[in-house]
Amino acid sequence: MMNESLILFGSGVVGVVLGLIFFGGLWWTVKRGLSSNLAALWFFGSLMLRTSIVLVGFYLIFQGDWRNVVACLFGFLAARIGITFLLRQKGDKPCA
């Protein structure tokens, strides 16, 4: 029982890391891509790289137990909410 809880917690932490990579990379790409002459290449390349990393991470975390994926997904979404909160500009209204 304790071992399962630890594995689920670890899966959640991996989800947070994957979310930070994905959404942090998205933020970095938007900042970098808007000032580039090759914006389409930046956005497409970033999308492919970020999506590949996240898919491989979810695949490795799966290990035959759907609960690991759910814990990882919750961590991924928590990272999205955290990054959205931290990077919000003053005066921006929160999205629903």
Does a structural domain hold residue 46? yes
Does a structural domain hold residue 75? yes
Total tally of structural domains belonging to the chain: 1
Does a structural domain hold residue 92? no
Residue range of the domain that includes 68? 9-87
Q: Among candidates 61, 1, 50, 60, which has minimal Cα distance to 27?
A: 50
Give Cα separations from 27 to 6, 13, 24, 51, 67 (angstroms).
31, 21, 5, 14, 29
What does the pLDDT profile of the chain (96 residues) look like in tens digits?
A: 779 899 999 999 999 999 999 999 999 999 998 898 999 999 999 999 999 999 999 999 998 899 999 999 999 999 999 998 888 876 666 665
Does a structural domain hold residue 1? no
Does a structural domain hold residue 65? yes
Other Cβ atoms closer than 10 A to 79: 20
